[in-house]
Structure 1
């Protein structure tokens, strides 16, 4: 799995770059992530008939904390 180790290392280096960190914390990233996360959460709630809405919303909120500036 040497190839996978290389990809993981490159991804870590990419995410540790200050430019990337700043981009992920930008207003634009916030807007995009909110729309994407809302769409995914809505789709998941639709598929599950809303049975897991609280859990899905909790996961959505936790992910949202890591992207954007709000």
Structure 2
């Protein structure tokens, strides 16, 4: 069982909270780097949300 599988199991039923945590972490990284890597952080946030099952309702899914 991979680490991601364990995380998914622990977060099952709490996808909205996980999504908020991913957003907060990304905002923190953006703040600390002066938004220098904002596009990379946004991409990483979306991939984490996709993996954990949390859907960001403001951004359409990647093709």
TM-score by length of 1: 0.60
- Whichever structure has more helix as a proportion of its residues is 1
The count of residues paired between Structure 1 and Structure 2 equals 52
Gapped runs of 5+ residues in structure 2?
56-63
Runs of 4+ in 1 over 4 A off after TM superposition: none
Q: Between Structure 1 and Structure 2, whose CA radius of gyration is higher?
A: 1
**How far has the Cα of 1:30 moved from its partner?**
1.7
CA distance in 2 between partners of 1:50 and 1:32 (Å): 24
* Structure 1 spans left out of the alignment, 5+ residues: 1-11
| 1:39 counterpart (24, 30, 38) | 24
| Alignment of 1:57 onto 2:38 | no
Q: Is contact 2:26–2:42 with CA below 8 Å preserved after alignment?
A: yes
RMSD value, Cα:
2.7
Structure-2-length-normalised TM-score: 0.66
